[in-house]
Copies of this chain bind each other. A is one copy, B any other.
Amino acid sequence: MIIRFSHFAMSVSLALSSIVCFAQKAPRNGDPKLTEYWDPAVRVVTPGKTNADPPSDAIVLFDGKDLSKWKSDNDGSAAKWKIEGNAMVVVKGAGNISTKEAFGDCQLHIEWRTPAEVVGESQGRGNSGIFLMGKYELQVLDSYNNRTYSNGQAGSIYKQFPPLVNASRGPGEWQTYDIIFTAPMFYADGALKSPARITVFHNGVLVQNNTTIWGATQYVGTPNYEPHASKEPLILQDHGNPVAYRNIWIRPI
């Protein structure tokens, strides 16, 4: 009661005091320079010719010519996927391929194409995957008129989050993922400090909006986090289907 009364009293006193009343809103007359700062200067990056082309500070992981930035994830030998046109194509049985370089937080552009000839259904049709840090899978699948479990279709964080919408193009068409990835962080004792997060545009349409990832992708059972380095290689999956990739570039952020 006392508190309320004193507030009432204060309101009255404020109402009587034009000077104080005038001060109620943040003032908008004054020196605009007080909210301007010039340092640090912002680093210049030359954008690509189109928005799909690599900007000047990107690391080009595949430019259509060779697999020199990649190795077999099985044994570290040369990557055995094949080059067709300006694309690299999964060779069934050649296994997953991994970048030689490791990455943490990044912006990643990658283009992919499932086979024009539709074979199989659900997870059997045009299946591959992009493993950020080799652990967190963004699903690649022919999800055009191909129903599967929602948390396993194209644009999903596999077995975790469905995409917000299904923005798939058809089989045989090139599709794009534009990705912002934030790496997880761990305490010294191995406990999770902050989980991985991901934003994905599929063919220009937002399908993951700063999604919090649950842990390393698992086919069976619960995903969970186990501590790992702050940078890990990017892995592309051989799931037995001749999925093609092209124009892959990454910007550490």
Interface residues of A (CB under 8 A from B): 2-4, 6-7, 10, 14, 23-48, 50-53, 55, 57, 105, 107, 109, 145, 147-153, 159-169, 176, 178, 180, 187, 189-193, 195, 199, 201-206, 209-210, 212, 214, 218-222, 224, 226, 251, 253
Contact = CB atoms under 8 A, between A and B. Distances in A.
B191 A36 contact: no
Given A35-B222, A51-B51, A55-B167, A189 B43 contact: yes
Contact of A47 (B24, B44, B202): B202
Copies of this chain: 4
A63 to B, nearest CB: 16
A107 B201 CA distance: 10
Contacts of A167: 45-47, 55
A155 to B, nearest CB: 8
Contacts of A2: 145
B151 A34 contact: no
9 contacts: A26-B37, A34-B221, A36-B151, A37-B150, A39-B150, A45-B205, A55-B167, A178-B201, A187-B253
